[in-house]
Chains A and B, each alone.
Chain A
């Protein structure tokens, strides 16, 4: 009756096809192919250029999108199943952590500063990555690539949410967490990761993949998560360990996507090599600067330390990075241009950065402190060639001023780097006694940089980087008119509560008092 009406013949099945169905069990690779890649088709009613308008302007040549391999080959049913299992575990622990005052298990209240920086600086980046991967998941012109990006897009919102949820309970008891959403768009040091993610998202889809998928995920994410989460474990913070490891289980997929992406570009056309190399140079340096925040967390903010920033760099930077770039050498890829400068900076950056935070701690939504003698001995041991020589004397000096009741507070404004947005507090490669400063004139304006790496980034894309929103000059714009109290209100910072010294802070008093309640009957 009805089937004859539109019988065009192309899909008429012979009865023999029936028996082929259940018996023809596909292997994993073929099954994944029919479940993903075969869903796409060559459009004829609209042009490929109209549907995928952004895949060509960066100059990357692709001849065969089907050459993209996703080694994880997850279909949605498996994705839902495995991810749900991770989620059940995660929230069971986060609930227990909140119900049992898990925050009192941490080694010391100083540790909270690391969490505050994480929530203010890193979690919004997870959200930005979510949106960036959604765009890439639409703009790439191959199904395999799109699906891999889409899965990362949905994973990244997971990471933003699990972090906010895990840290939500800390916000109920401690200062500095409450205004993270305001700080994201306005605070001077959160501008560092914000500009990093904005830079990646405003780039084309291929550069975005090198920025986030390759440089950040593959080269740098281990440095962020693995030692930091081990640090959380050492410091009794079960909630953070849990979100960290839970997120990392997705990162393994993301890192693989980043590596597959770069191999794909390099295998598609030899003309892609110089473009990819330039992106690797740029994004390695951009990522390295963002990780400056992590170096202070590892060397200064963990009361009980796992490994130094230098040691983490040796394992996850040098050992892993060297293996990676040796592997990519077959395509003609060289290690990133800033690699040697980075290596030289490793023994200095956490100290330079922490000293900067400490002198500007009137304007940080976390507490800082002068390291104890014991801390300094540890730093001497971990940084035998630099700490005692360059940084211990400065900390000792600060300590003396504070003991005398005349602490040095820098309420002047730092010169910010036009590219990475960090204050220009770093020293010349090979000369730790000279501050590094670069200046460029472009169309009659002067721009300042913290390093050759950041100046290179600007020189390659001046029209992009003259747009940088610099948080310090904003203080003098109309709405704030140079008023520090107004600025504090604008960034959501409560003076004498969220900022300043840890010693004597509300966090210290509360943590100490609550801990005492747990060990005594009074």
Chain B
């Protein structure tokens, strides 16, 4: 029922990140605005390092996300392989 979200600056670095999120979270809704992309998802959203790396063609550290992060909502859990946002209901 509750939606989690993450918003990223819209630029070349986040393009593959957003693509990976879309692929890994079919239930997510991607809203593209002039300077930012906000992704909403019911209950949970997962960002996978491997998916991003595949699209980027280079190793990716999930902490790099912080450079382009605008905001998020939900309980966050991060390890080296994935970042998840969830609401408990």
Q: A residues touching B (Cβ–Cβ < 8 Å)?
A: 27-29, 71-74, 78, 82, 85-86, 221-222, 225-226, 229-230, 233-234, 241, 245, 248-249, 251-253, 255-256, 259, 263, 319-320, 322-324, 326-327, 330
B25 sits at the interface (CB 8 A): no
List the A side residues contacting B66 at CB < 8 Å.
72, 74, 82, 249, 252-253
Chain A to chain B contacts (Cβ below 8 Å), 20 pairs:
A28-B79, A71-B76, A72-B76, A82-B63, A225-B71, A226-B71, A229-B35, A233-B35, A245-B36, A249-B66, A249-B69, A251-B71, A255-B71, A255-B72, A323-B2, A323-B4, A326-B1, A326-B2, A326-B87, A327-B88
B77 sits at the interface (CB 8 A): yes
A316 to chain B, nearest CB (A): 9
Decide: B76 and A256 in contact? CB cutoff 8 A.
Answer: yes
List the B side residues contacting A222 at CB < 8 Å.
71, 73
B68 to chain A, nearest CB (A): 7
Q: Write out, one digit per residue, whether chain B residues 67-89 have a CB within 8 A of any chain A CB (1) or not (0).
A: 11111111111111000000111
| A234 to B77 alpha-carbon distance, docked (Å) | 34
List the B side residues contacting A253 at CB < 8 Å.
66
B34 sits at the interface (CB 8 A): yes
| A320 to B78 alpha-carbon distance, docked (Å) | 21
Q: Known contacts A73-B78, A233-B34, A233-B35; decide if A323 and B73 are in contact (CB<8 Å).
A: yes
List the A side residues contacting B74 at CB < 8 Å.
323
Main secondary structure of the interface of A (DSSP, over half): helix
Decide: B71 and A248 in contact? CB cutoff 8 A.
Answer: yes
Decide: B79 and A245 in contact? CB cutoff 8 A.
Answer: no
| A82 to B69 alpha-carbon distance, docked (Å) | 12
Interface residues on chain B, number (Cβ under 8 Å): 31
List the A side residues contacting B15 at CB < 8 Å.
none
Residue of A nearest to B74 (CB): A323
Decide: B72 and A327 in contact? CB cutoff 8 A.
Answer: no
Q: Which 8 A-B pairs have the closest CB atoms?
A: A323-B2, A252-B69, A248-B70, A71-B76, A233-B35, A28-B80, A327-B87, A249-B69
| A85 to B70 alpha-carbon distance, docked (Å) | 15
B39 sits at the interface (CB 8 A): no
Within 8 A of A (CB), among B19-62: 33-36
Q: B residues touching A (Cβ–Cβ < 8 Å)?
A: 1-5, 7, 9, 33-36, 63-64, 66-80, 87-89
A241 to chain B, nearest CB (A): 6
Q: Known contacts A27-B79, A85-B67, A226-B7; decide if A241 and B73 are in contact (CB<8 Å).
A: no
| A324 to B72 alpha-carbon distance, docked (Å) | 12
Instruction: Identify which of B63, B70, B72, B76 contacts A245 (C-beta below 8 A).
Output: B70
Q: Known contacts A245-B36, A252-B66; decide if A324 and B78 are in contact (CB<8 Å).
A: no
List the A side residues contacting B76 at CB < 8 Å.
71-72, 256
Decide: B70 and A249 in contact? CB cutoff 8 A.
Answer: yes
Contacts A71-B78, A82-B63, A82-B64 aside, 18 further interface pairs with beta carbons under 8 A come to: A28-B79, A85-B67, A222-B73, A225-B71, A230-B35, A241-B35, A245-B35, A249-B9, A249-B67, A249-B69, A252-B72, A255-B72, A320-B5, A323-B73, A323-B74, A326-B87, A327-B87, A327-B88
Residue of A nearest to B2 (CB): A323
Decide: A259 and B87 in contact? CB cutoff 8 A.
Answer: no
List the A side residues contacting B9 at CB < 8 Å.
245, 249
| A318 to B59 alpha-carbon distance, docked (Å) | 39
List the A side residues contacting B67 at CB < 8 Å.
82, 85-86, 249
List the A side residues contacting B70 at CB < 8 Å.
226, 245, 248-249, 252
Residue of A nearest to B84 (CB): A71
List the A side residues contacting B33 at CB < 8 Å.
230
List the B side residues contacting A71 at CB < 8 Å.
76-78
List the B side residues contacting A319 at CB < 8 Å.
3
List the B side residues contacting A229 at CB < 8 Å.
35
List the B side residues contacting A233 at CB < 8 Å.
34-35
List the A side residues contacting B75 at CB < 8 Å.
259, 263, 327
